[in-house]
Homo-oligomer: A and B are copies of this chain.
Amino acid sequence: MTAETNLSVEPPRPLRRTVESDWFRNFIMGLIIANAVILGILTYRTLLDGFVQVLRVVDMAITWVFVTEILLKMIVYRLGFFRSGWNWFDFLVVGISLIPGGQAFSVMRALRVLRVLRLLHIVPMMKQVTEALIRALPGMGAILALLALITYVAAVMATNLFGDTETEEVAQLFSDLPRSALSLFQVMTMDGWRFEVVQKVVDDGHPYAWVFFLIFIFVASFLVLNLFIALIVEALQVEQEAMQEEQIEALEEEAEEAHAERAEILTVLKELKQEIAALKATRDGK
């Protein structure tokens, strides 16, 4: 994510300086915040048509400034541009706004708001936190995979066991795989698990269904708990290793000093020995 560097053969120096300057970044930051406010105001359905028109024009203008910004960066960094994850992010969230259908479909229009998330890496403090959070993700990988596997297996079982029903409410919960997975995720979050899920299934002719759900709750909670613990342990580890290093360094420094002093003692001692040897020699030689 810090690959915005020196590969490009001949970067136009003044342009580069502009793109990397603080005032340029602050200018873009200001535009993003203004954009966020405008997109917020535009959600109100009772605005005057003229005002909406003005806001739409300003929004489009800001979008084009963002496009220009990204083009400038591409000119400056050439292919190096795409070696930064954040540049890809900017490229995609700004690019979405330019898709022609973007005006027509509500989903596309909604996705334009993602532009505001550019603040995540334009504000330095936020960038730091966001990158720390992203670095924590791989540590969750193995347990998340386990959780996904167990939810999949439980969803297949639940669909087989409870899905073949004529009760509308239970069908909504377990009639196909995605619904079962969503219902199991609901049970995992412990939101209305008893009366919105378990009791409905029990009343639908599965008096022992609660055994299945209790096992699932225990296993899933245990995994989520361990996910949490893994993150804590990792966060603490980084810090403790730094401390560990500092302490071992202090120990080694002390050891080195002691070694030097003992070496000096030994040197003096050996000189002494030589002197005595010399003394003896003169004496014997006498």
Residue A61 interfacial (CB < 8 Å)? no
The main secondary structure of chain A at its interface with chain B is helix
Task: Name the distance in Å between A77's Cβ and chain B's nearest Cβ.
Answer: 26
Q: In the assembled complex, which residues on chain B have CB atoms less than 8 Å from the CB atom of A230?
A: 235
Alpha-carbon distance between A246 and B248 when the two chains are bound, in angstroms: 9
Residues of B within 8 A of A235 (CB): 229-230, 232-233
Residues A129 and B109 in contact in the complex (CB < 8 Å), given A117-B149, A152-B116, A194-B192 = no
Instruction: State which residues 218-276 of A face B: CB under 8 Å.
Output: 222-223, 225-226, 228-233, 235-237, 239-241, 243-244, 246-248, 250-252, 254-255, 257-259, 261-266, 268-273, 275-276
The answer for the CA separation of A248 and B156 in the assembled complex, in Å, is: 52
The one of B113, B199, B262 that contacts A156, using a Cβ cutoff of 8 Å: B113
On whether A143 and B129 interact (CB within 8 A), knowing A190-B191, A195-B196, A255-B258, the answer reads yes
A153 within 8 A of B: yes
A222→B227 CA distance, assembly (Å): 11
Q: A275-B277, A280-B279 are in contact. Are A160 and B233 (CB under 8 A)?
A: no
A-B contact sample (14 more), CB < 8 A, given A119-B149, A125-B145, A271-B273: A43-B176, A45-B164, A110-B160, A116-B149, A117-B153, A126-B146, A128-B142, A133-B146, A182-B214, A225-B231, A237-B239, A250-B251, A258-B262, A275-B276
| 11 examples of A-B residue contacts, CB within 8 angstroms | A44-B177, A109-B160, A110-B160, A117-B150, A125-B145, A129-B146, A182-B210, A191-B194, A192-B194, A255-B257, A276-B276
Interface residues of A (CB under 8 A from B): 36, 39-40, 43-45, 106-107, 109-111, 113-114, 116-117, 119-120, 125-126, 128-130, 133, 136, 142-143, 145-146, 149-150, 152-153, 156-157, 159-161, 163-164, 172, 175-177, 180, 182-183, 185-186, 189-196, 199, 210, 214, 217, 222-223, 225-226, 228-233, 235-237, 239-241, 243-244, 246-248, 250-252, 254-255, 257-259, 261-266, 268-273, 275-280, 282-284
